[in-house]
Amino acid sequence: MKRLISILATLIFIQIAVFAQKQIPTAPAGFDVNQETIPHGKIDTIQYASKTVGVARKATIYFPPGYLKTKKYPVLYLLHGIGGDEKEWLNGGKPQVIFDNLYASGKLEPMLVVMPNGRAMKDDRAIGNIMAPEKVAAFANFEKDLIQDLIPYVEKSYNVFKDRNHRALAGLSMGGGQSLNFGLGNLDTFAWVGGFSSAPNTKLPAELLPDPAKGKAMLKLLWISCGDNDRLINFSQRTHEYLVEKNVPHIYYVEPGVHDFKVWKNDLYLFSQLLFKPVDQASFQKYSLNP
């Protein structure tokens, strides 16, 4: 019996050791702390004509340090949650600080980051009953606004690449559901897709990706992440299980945490470093909690 216990203890130790070697760590301390001595990017507000909504709509845009109008850039479209707007990421996640620090460390590919208002309706403010049916419907309506209005505006106004391989879409909570719905539903538009703690608006897996072979062939990166104590984790889990069943390469990153910006900032830190670079699908397993 003692020998059996000893063997089991050894096996558990080996399993933990393998897990520790494989698991990608969370962001290091200070990753989201402003550093005065490094170059900083620029933040601006843009306004575009939305034929979908019938009004001019606003978005926030981040330009990387050393931005040059003569250089072409890829674009990350970064979406907010149900209670937010085009400034939610700036107010809660400070992505400009995370990006500035990553650029200073040479870990990020230069890109523009567009943070729109994902509530596509005339009064798109996050006020009153944010769960009202017409406001929830406006998040679905944003798919048309994004693809037919916002992206063409960005590509006309800035020197950016205009092909799917240089467009990424990601978001948190409601925006995570939007990113999976719109990104996987428009593979001719996006090659890089990320859902952080995706909300109940996320479509059923078979609706998200009815043609797994097409997704496997066209996606550069599909990222799904969630906090291990997030009550919404089942939406990410079911999508992950479907993708495993259909043999679609993806990253499923479960991390310590709940439904908050501590988790989403870490997701952005890790996800952004993978964008617009050569993809090594063999490395995807390093993000898995499973040894």
The CA distance from 146 to 135, in Å, is 16
d(CA 37, CA 264): 26
User: How close are the terminal C-alpha atoms of the chain, in Å?
Assistant: 27
What pLDDT shows up at residue 6? 43
pLDDT tens, 247-263?
999 999 999 999 999 99
Which 8-state DSSP code applies to residue 34? -
Rounded to whole angstroms, the Cα distance separating 132 from 149 reads 25
Closest CA to 173 of 136, 210, 128: 136
Q: What is the pLDDT of residue 23?
A: 64
CA gap 291, 20 in Å, rounded: 8
Q: In the prediction, which pLDDT does 22 show?
A: 54
Q: What is the pLDDT of residue 285?
A: 87
pLDDT value at position 3? 47
The Cα–Cα gap between 79 and 61 comes to 12
pLDDT at 24: 79
Neighbours of 171 (CB within 10 A): 31
Tokens coding 185:
């539903």
Report residues of the chain scoring pLDDT below 70: 1-23, 289-291
Q: What is 230-284 written as a DSSP string?
A: -TTHHHHHHHHHHHHHTT---EEEEES--SSHHHHHHHHHHHHTTTTS---GGGG
- The answer to whether 176 and 267 have CB atoms below 8 angstroms apart is no
Supply the pLDDT for residue 25: 79
**What single DSSP character describes residue 2?**
H
